[in-house]
Structure 1
Amino acid sequence: MLGSMFFQVMMAGYDVSNVANIQAALYDDFGKINLLPLVAHGFSGASAATAPISRRLTHIIDSKILMLAMGVLFMVGGIVSATAHSMETIVVGRFIQGISGGPITQLNFAYISHTSGPYTAQVTGLMGMSWSIGLILGPIVGGAFAQNATWRWAFGIVPIIYALTIPFTVLGYPSNIGRDLSKGSVRMELRSFDNIGSILHMASIILLFIAFSYSGTTFAWKSGSSITLFVVWGVTFTAYLVQQATCIRTRPERRILPITLLKQRTAGLVFLCTVCISMAYAGMLYYLPLLYAFTRNLSPIHSAEKVLPFIATVVFGAIFTGTVLPKVQRYAPFYVVGNVLVLLGSVLIAARTTPSTPIGHVIGLSVMAGLGIRMLMQHGQRVLSAALAPSWFSDVSTIRIMGQSLGTSLGLAMMGCLYQNKGYALLREAISSGVSEQDIRETLAGLKSSVSASSDAQQRALIVQAVTKAITLTLYVVVAAAAVGLVGALALKHEKLDFQKGQKENAGAETGAETETSDSGETGEKTNTASV
């Protein structure tokens, strides 16, 4: 059963990044360059928008039925994208998979918490590793399909592999994982669902992504449409915060967002660090291949090969941290060192890279950043599982999924907005007049255009310089994310955790028991540990 779950989570990770190297092929078939950002971060955005809802559903609906339903929906989304005849259909397929991918991951972690006992932390780490492997394979496998067969297989492989895990779910997945049968019927629970919070949460996430994706490209920054998008998002997000804080038309334990958990110092800071490090990872994974492609005129698959050292370091960093963390027991130093490595690597790439910079220098700095990323990205749930009582596990899984999805999609949306706007301005300044906006947008996306196909060597050099500058400016979002993450890491408690037992170790100070109620309505003991 665990093996099939690892593959399910791996497919969810793969779907986050499988479009990184197939966007040129998609554009060649369908055009509509303005929709490429939604294809890129549609999966992560939908997952972030529905993660809290998935958390509540796991406590209401039969877990096996929910798991099978989400699995079928996940495969349908892959089929919709693989058989699409328009860019809009691909976006729809990506959103369908994002909506279902979150509950699948949530339910798998719920299964671990109920069946793994003292090995929960270790199995959780392996599950996170599976997600990371999928995330790593996405650009490589997707690019290979696009170059050697067709981009459709980058989507089509997902339902095929996932279908192989369905029999294991039918035979081995229990029906009542995380479900509280004492609260009443499913109908009663659904009636008391935080519908207002759910709608406001989804609207806040989706509106923000749309605002970043269309401002400056589809709509001019100073246009009424752009301003309206951000104003509507601001009003919606404010209403969401007020509704969750004051429990309008809901009760504290039924709120869609696990506010009680996020208000705790360790959980809130770990969530912040997860968002920041996911933004950094998404930025490096998507924009390093583009940098290599422009500065060295490489194909998508060869650009992806240049990212392999970064990816290999990410895997090594995960293994290193997973092995050493339980022995050291102090998690705060890992967060500090990891963010410092990402900050140094990204700021040096952003500040010092030019078209003439040796590619080995960029790869070396990306390796530094990759080590820092993997020291942090998958270990937040492990830290919180050891720091908090078992009753919090469902909420911990939710903020982990939401943190990674939100960080990935928000990072790509912000960086895409900056890259398209600054890149357009720099290219417009660098090239001769008479070039259309469409040609400039195609060039920025790494597509064939009249600009990139210019026979004038001097103009080509100016184009490469302008795009390189746009990419390095975009990577300052990674720098900013690492800086914010570092501030959060410095504020973490310097305490020891017993990762083997999944509970706090007494640091020598007097301890006491405090009963806390999670937002999912469960109660558990939390052992207070003095900071060291």
Structure 2
Amino acid sequence: MVTLNSYNLTWWVYTNNQLRSIKDLAPVTECEINSLEEYNQRRLTPATPSLISQWQWGFVCLGLYLGALLYGLDTTISASVQGPILASLGEIEKLAWVGIGFPLGSVSVILLLGWCYTVFEIKYLMIGSIVGFEAGSAICGAAPNMNAMILGRVIAGIGGAGMYLGGLTYISVFTSLKTRPLYNALIGLCWGLGCILGPIIGGSFSVSSASWRFAFYINLPLAALLSPVYIFLFPKHNAQPQTPGPTKLARIDWVGAVLNATVFTLFQVVLTFAGSTWKWNQAGPIALWVVFGASLITFVVQQVFSFFTTPERRIFPIHFLKSRTQILLYTSTAASSAGLVIAVYYLPLFFQFTRGDSAIRASVRLLPFITVTVFFIMFTGGLLPILGRYSPLYVISGVFLLIGSSLMHTIHIGTATGAIYGYEVLAAIGIGATMQVAYSVSVAKVKHHDTQNAIGFINVAQIGTMAIALSIAASIFQNRGLINLKEALQGYGFSEQELRGALAGAQSAVLMGGDMVVKTKAVEAIIKTMNSIWIIPIVAGAVSFVSGALMKWEKVALTTTSA
């Protein structure tokens, strides 16, 4: 018999007359076990009933799911309000940042926040994140200019990342391995639903008397409604209650955190502005590329050799790079995220340009995509504990995403709407099938002390890839689109500013001048550009397929439960 407690990293138990080492999920309170089997049974037992009541846990889940929904909503809500924002605030060269600013803010702090959730009181971090998210939303709604809008989006992204990580942390702390896939699937369902409903809700406000500003203000009353739940019902959990706060702060890998944020920010800035605001061969973007490369190398070296920190405290879980499974889970999750964000942002644009749809009508055309994506997020979340094996899901996901995206790459002005819906559905199956699976698999494959690292690692893949994919797509759309428009409308005397206005969907002379020949040529050039953007999900589908094929043919220790 041996006593276990939550502060040990390694425990020893006698079973079958042998001394065995356990490095796995620790119980929250001290307990005694007689065998390895009893220990495993204990760690698979949900902690929730003994800590909080079922009705309280229900309200906690409601708060977590709303947070995930709002986070997903703000990730994509700008997709259908960029036109009205541009008409109101101007500065077309900064327009892409309305969409990019939110995921950029998130990915810049994901690893830092993930580390904080392992050492600080998670309830206070969650509430602080909600306050930050709401503050950013309020700034966006009241923005007098584009700079304020971008600032608000970044702040909201930081707060949103804390909300999302907080939800995943609560689930990892208060649920068992048995129930965790279902809870993760529900978090993923709400986040994915928010992502896909974002353009619809944003489009609804943009054409209403309330204006686009209420697409951001809507977050305020929703969070206020559940504020008593966050304040009074959310349980506390501090993994290191005996360590003083200043000591915890001093242990943070601040150098790594700053370098991580710098790398992502520089990449987004140079990729977004090069070619649109700056010429590619100008000194400004060249210098930024050099600084970005130097920052990336510095970050890698600092993390590998643990400069100014220790291997246990470095911000990036670099030991995961030694695991084939973790690397493949990362790449395949990134693939699903890339497919999702491209579809959500550019499918409505296709219908606006080719069918003359309003923002709300174009967004409603995403419903087939919404329904199928949400269904498969839930389906695979419930299937994983039954199937056990995860690699087939990624192989199937890659096949469907590759086929659906390849078909979307071929569409043109005359493509039947029904055919496009069919292509959407194929891509949606691939995206939804593996959108959240890695959260359960990655956590199940690591030791307890690496749980938060696993969540943060996959979150970087999911949210970070969204920011990167949006930046790449925006660069293609602005640069390749301008070239295509210049070629199509050569000799018509349009200025570069007017052509860029057409790409933004603004009321430009190109699209609203009354000349149908000009409009048709312009739309054909824009759709040709969008077809180029669909190469991103095509590559993502191939990556998902290859990742799944290279994964171990193994079962993870997850079983279904009625709890």
TM-score (norm: length of structure 2): 0.86
Runs of at least 5 residues in structure 2 that lack an aligned partner in the other structure:
1-59
CA deviation map 1:376-406 (0-9, x unaligned): 1111102223333443321122122221111
What displacement does 1:501 show? 7.0
Distance 2:93 2:181 in 1: 42
Q: Which amino acid aligns with 2:403?
A: L
1:403 aligns with 2:461: yes
8 Å CA contact 2:142–2:213 kept in 1: the answer is yes
**Match of residue 353 from structure 1:** 411
Distance 2:416 2:515 in 1: 24
CA deviation map 1:345-390 (0-9, x unaligned): 111221x212112122122111100111000111110222333344
**Match of residue 436 from structure 2:** 378
The SS at the match of 1:252 is coil
1:147 aligns with 2:207: yes
**Match of residue 7 from structure 2:** none
What displacement does 1:215 show? 0.7
Pick one of 215, 227, 246 that aligns with 2:305.
246
Distance 1:60 1:316 in 2: 35
Q: Which amino acid aligns with 2:182?
A: Q
What displacement does 1:261 show? 2.8
**Match of residue 230 from structure 1:** 289
**Match of residue 363 from structure 1:** 421
Distance 1:227 1:364 in 2: 43
Map 1:488-499 to 2 at 5 A: 488-499=547-558
**Match of residue 449 from structure 2:** 391
Map 1:60-99 to 2 at 5 A: 60-99=119-158
Distance 1:284 1:206 in 2: 24
Map 1:304-323 to 2 at 5 A: 304-323=363-382
Pick one of 120, 126, 131 that aligns with 2:186.
126
1:264 aligns with 2:306: no
State which drifts further: 477-486 or 367-376.
Answer: 477-486
1:426 aligns with 2:484: yes
**Match of residue 236 from structure 2:** 175
What displacement does 1:335 show? 0.2
CA deviation map 1:192-249 (0-9, x unaligned): 3211101100000011011111010000112221222212111111111111011011
8 Å CA contact 2:381–2:436 kept in 1: the answer is no
**Match of residue 223 from structure 2:** 162
What displacement does 1:423 show? 0.5
What displacement does 1:433 show? 4.1
Distance 1:41 1:172 in 2: 34
State which drifts further: 41-50 or 431-440.
Answer: 431-440
What displacement does 1:165 show? 2.2
Distance 2:70 2:212 in 1: 17
The SS at the match of 2:512 is coil
8 Å CA contact 1:74–1:159 kept in 2: the answer is no
1:213 aligns with 2:275: no
State which drifts further: 99-108 or 113-122.
Answer: 113-122
1:190 aligns with 2:256: no
Over 3 Å counting, the alpha-carbon distance change for 1:436 and 1:94 in structure 2 is same
Distance 1:457 1:84 in 2: 36
Pick one of 537, 543, 556 that aligns with 1:478.
537
8 Å CA contact 1:121–1:385 kept in 2: the answer is no
8 Å CA contact 1:74–1:100 kept in 2: the answer is yes
Map 1:3-42 to 2 at 5 A: 3-42=62-101
Distance 2:192 2:158 in 1: 19
Q: Which amino acid aligns with 2:185?
A: G
Count of aligned pairs: 499
Q: Which amino acid aligns with 2:187?
A: M
What displacement does 1:107 show? 1.9
Distance 1:260 1:106 in 2: 21
**Match of residue 524 from structure 1:** none
8 Å CA contact 2:193–2:370 kept in 1: the answer is no
- RMSD over aligned CA atoms reads 1.6
The SS at the match of 1:497 is coil
Structure with max Cα Rg:
2
Map 1:294-333 to 2 at 5 A: 294-333=353-392
What displacement does 1:481 show? 2.1
Pick one of 441, 444, 452 that aligns with 2:511.
452
8 Å CA contact 1:143–1:301 kept in 2: the answer is yes
Q: Which amino acid aligns with 1:260?
A: H
CA deviation map 1:425-445 (0-9, x unaligned): 010111134211111111011
Distance 2:182 2:365 in 1: 32
TM-score (norm: length of structure 1): 0.91
The SS at the match of 1:50 is helix
8 Å CA contact 1:18–1:141 kept in 2: the answer is yes
Distance 1:307 1:121 in 2: 27
Q: Which amino acid aligns with 2:257?
A: S
Distance 2:535 2:440 in 1: 29
Over 3 Å counting, the alpha-carbon distance change for 1:326 and 1:59 in structure 2 is closer
State which drifts further: 393-402 or 135-144.
Answer: 393-402
Distance 1:95 1:105 in 2: 15
Runs of at least 5 residues in structure 1 that lack an aligned partner in the other structure:
503-532
> Percent identity among equivalent residues?
30
Distance 2:308 2:160 in 1: 28
8 Å CA contact 2:196–2:366 kept in 1: the answer is no
1:47 aligns with 2:99: no
8 Å CA contact 2:389–2:554 kept in 1: the answer is yes
CA deviation map 1:145-190 (0-9, x unaligned): 111231011000112211222211221223334x3235x3211221
**Match of residue 517 from structure 1:** none
8 Å CA contact 2:73–2:191 kept in 1: the answer is yes
